[in-house]
Amino acid sequence: MLLSESAAWAGAYLALEWAIRVVMLVVVPFRRSPDAARSWLTLVFFLPIPALAIYLVIGRPTYPRWRRDRFAKLPKLLAVATRQITHSHFCRRPSLPGNLEDPALLIETLGKFPTLAGNDVEICSDYEQLIDDIVSDINRAKRSVHLLFYIFADDATGRRVMEALGQAARRGVACRVLIDAVGSRRWSRQVVKTLTSHGVHVRLALPVGLLRRRSARADLRNHRKIAVIDSRIGYVGSQNIVDADLDPDVVNEELMVRVTGPVALELQAVFAADWFMETDQVLDAPVLFPHRAPGDGVVAQVLASGPDYPDAGVGLLVVALIHGARERVVITTPYFVPDEALLQALKTAVLRGVNVSLVVPDETDHLIVKMAQRSYYSELLHFGVRVHSYKGCFLHAKHITIDGEIALIGSSNVDIRSFVLNAEVSLIVYDRSTVQRLRLEQDRYFETSTVLTREAWENRSILTKTCENLARLAAPLL
């Protein structure tokens, strides 16, 4: 009797597993890339029940319906901002070679923001100087200060910024801060308490909680780093509000851009959209989107991407830019987990004679990601891509240059998480002098890096290669 019951339970369990496999074989490939589908189905085949549980939690890279419905209201609610930006006298097409005109038009189609002239762009690679500059600009603010950061820590750096915000609020400046609930979870309670006591309006982006009525998914994060002061000065890039040496074993090296001019209004609009999504409050006062007379300066535009922007994938832009390149591509990223489209773009670029370089840190702070990205190096080296392994600090900077014409700087890594799951923001600059200044930073990276060779890289142990290839299977899920 006992044996027959055990056999019945075993049969039911086996039937359940195969039912999950069959159903997931139909469900998983729907609106999903082949790489992602392959990874999910591999997991389902070997561990069907755990795979189903994971899929129900993080299987779809979309926000809940209430958030999508709220986001759909934004164009109408932010009418003043949209009208000011799209009808600006600064709207001007960049002067580009024919091979790069289509990628430039793609950006506007994806993100809805036009190219705006009249901007001054400053590259900021000194970690402490960047914090000094942000604090200084906050101290001079007269009307508004808006900050949106993935990490806002209650450490020496964070307290400096919080004190500047408090002083600004006491002067009557409208100060608003958004911090990602998961990225800043170690400090969020104290940061919110301190900023609120200073009179600063602060909210957590995408809060998570089992009992929370509108809890966000833990893996869909707001990864942006934005500061906008008086609708005139904007900051965007890779650096968070946290000490560079918070972890003594991982000292961060970053790169941000300080931009003054009309493109700051596009950063303002991204912040206003995120603020509305978290608070249901509309920031559309004309004072936040002022009109300015046309002037000189470089052409730039902003691309916001993420699950809120289903058609605005920064990955599409990166692939298009590489396909348009004719001379030189340099990609700097701490995390490199490409999809098939990006790998093919890199391969065809090299075959066209384009000099393609990838700069990645020698050490990363995520072991599985590190192993997954290293599994791609053999393929890249075989293509002819130069892989530079940066020594010393953890190079957390994220930027790309195309020929001598276009620079892309922002919060997005070159991985599937940034391309699909995270809310990201990128500044695209169409200016040879800006690209040249950024290339000076890239040249410095080259000098501090080891250039991988195909022969030496293939001498890794069988165990190392096996672990890397297993991690690669999970790449679309990272």
Pairing of strands 386-390, 355-361: parallel
Task: Quote the pTM value.
Answer: 0.89
Residue extents of the structural domains in the chain: 2-58, 65-95+114-298, 314-477
Multiple choice CATH, 314-477, 3.60.15.10, 3.30.70.1140, 2.30.40.10, 3.30.870.10: 3.30.870.10
* HSE-CB for 93 with a 13 A CA cutoff: 11
- CA angle, residues 297, 298, 303, in degrees to nearest 5: 130
Both tokens assigned to 323: 């396909």
Multiple choice CATH, 65-95+114-298, 3.30.1490.190, 3.30.870.10, 3.90.1110.10, 3.30.70.260: 3.30.870.10
Task: Report the percent of the chain where pLDDT is more than 90.
Answer: 56
pLDDT single digits (tens) 163-191: 999 999 999 999 999 999 999 999 999 99
Q: How far does the chain reach from its first CA to its final CA, in angstroms?
A: 46
pLDDT at 312 (0 to 100): 59
pLDDT at 9 over 90: no
Same fold, 65-95+114-298 and 314-477: yes
| Rounded alpha-carbon distances, angstroms, from residue 139 to 27, 133, 325, 434 | 54, 10, 42, 27
CA 315 – CA 317 distance, rounded (Å): 5
- The rounded mean pLDDT for the chain is 88
Return the active site residues: 223, 225, 230, 396, 398, 403
Q: Taking residues 96-106, what's their average pLDDT?
A: 78
pLDDT confidence tier of residue 92, bands split at 50, 70 and 90: confident
pLDDT single digits (tens) 228-265: 999 999 999 999 999 998 877 789 999 999 999 999 99
Q: Are 160 and 190 in contact (CB under 8 A)?
A: no
Number of Cβ within a 10 Å radius of residue 33: 17
